[in-house]
Amino acid sequence: MSYNTFGRVFRFTTWGESHGPALGAVVDGCPPGLALSEADIQPLLDKRRPGTSRFTTQRQEPDQVRILSGVFEGRTTGTPISLMIENVDQRSKDYSEVAKAYRPGHADYAYDAKYGFRDYRGGGRSSARETAARVAAGAVARLVIPEVSIRAWVEAIGGDAIDPANFDPAQIDRNPFFCPDAAAAERWEALIDAARKSGSSLGAVIACEATGVPAGWGAPLYAKLDSELAAACMSINAVKGVEIGDGFAAASLRGEDNADAMRPGGAGADGPEFLANHAGGIAGGISTGQPVTVRVAFKPTSSILTPVETIDRDGAATEIRTKGRHDPCVGIRGAPVVEAMMALVLADQKLLHRAQCG
């Protein structure tokens, strides 16, 4: 099944292909009365926009968003908000080779196996271009959770990680990599230039933190806050792993080291003081009031100039090099997308909590 909707009461549906006339999202279930205009969305889209440095695809897309419904006199009405972004810089002719053969590691073969054919232009629906619609929807979600601050950054590129000792949030927006470590940003520049020149691509790890989430959002089990976050992040193109809090590292800890000890919170505090946050702000599927933290692994893109052994649509052996304009490290632009997914999940969970617990 095609299933392009995410969320339970704050829900969004995305549509659109890389080389179609437009793409968009319909946001449904948004509370009424929130101030919303294109100006609330555009800056977030601009962070994700391609073509802004030599480290991303050179496709030139202004990614101008239009609000087509759900807003009246500058405020949300409670009815569906339709957001549309026109595609302006498609070059479909670049894709004649992709039409005939399957890029290993890409969705090409799987789409054909499922649907019998595919829109091969720029990856069609499997293109990371779809994430523009998520970012637009995520901008609306942020308005629903003004108590929450969300910040994502790139933690590693091609296996080269930041030094936690150098972590400086002010750096994140000062380089084209969303990198909080100035030294790492410098190294990455060379790293990506080299990968690009050699026709290769690199993976990345994104970290995201939401502060201000009160204790009590989420639910036991199947709509757990962590389960929803895992689904949200794993639904992003190229993502292969998701961790909450310490993630896989927790599997090597002992119980007493992994427990986030608590102390009375002191005057004016909303909850206890936690002495650590191994849990990533979620216990039993429910937020604890600590920062909610998630880490996401992006694989290197499969659209590379290096030739790879493959088969064509008739099953015959061939080789493929992916021309066209591609991100040498698609994970970089994943940072605003992970932020958007965090916002979308938290907005939904806030409303769900309000539904059940008043």
Annotated binding site for FMN: 125-127, 237-238, 284, 299-303, 325
Binding to a copy of itself (CB under 8 A): which residues in 216-235?
Answer: 216-224, 226-235
Buried b (16+ CB within 10 A) or exposed e, 185-207: bebbbebbeebbeeebbbbbbbb
Kindly tell me which residue out of 80, 89, 323, 325 binds a copy of itself, with binding defined by CB under 8 A. Answer: 80
User: 256-275 mask for a copy of itself (x: CB under 8 A)?
Assistant: x-xxxxxxxx-----xx--x
182 binds a copy of itself (CB under 8 A): no
Residue with Cβ nearer a copy of itself (183 or 249): 249
**Dihedral sign of CA atoms 87, 38, 170, 130 in order:** negative
**Count of Cβ atoms closer than 10 Å to residue 126 Cβ:** 20
Q: Specify which residues 83 forms β-bridges with.
A: 25, 67
Q: For a copy of itself, which stretch binds (CB under 8 A), given 40-48, 54-62, 182-190, 237-245?
A: 237-245
Which one-letter DSSP state was computed for residue 174?
G
Q: For a copy of itself, which stretch binds (CB under 8 A), given 48-56, 123-131, 135-143, 163-171?
A: 123-131
Distance of alpha carbon 28 from alpha carbon 82, whole angstroms: 9
Residue with Cβ nearer a copy of itself (170 or 263): 263
Decide: helix, strand or coil at residue 210: strand
* Residues 6+ away with beta carbon under 8 Å from 265: 271, 272, 273
Shortest distance in whole angstroms from residue 80 CB to a copy of itself:
4
Shortest distance in whole angstroms from residue 313 CB to a copy of itself:
11
Q: What is the largest CA-CA distance in the chain?
A: 72
Contact call for residues 262 and 156 (beta carbons, < 8 A): no
Contact call for residues 137 and 348 (beta carbons, < 8 A): no
Shortest distance in whole angstroms from residue 70 CB to a copy of itself:
7
Which one-letter DSSP state was computed for residue 23?
E
Binding to a copy of itself (CB under 8 A): which residues in 304-333?
Answer: 304, 306, 308-311, 315-317, 331
Kindly tell me which residue out of 57, 90, 171, 287 binds a copy of itself, with binding defined by CB under 8 A. Answer: 287
59 binds a copy of itself (CB under 8 A): no
Distance of alpha carbon 65 from alpha carbon 250, whole angstroms: 41
Shortest distance in whole angstroms from residue 19 CB to a copy of itself:
9
Shortest distance in whole angstroms from residue 172 CB to a copy of itself:
19
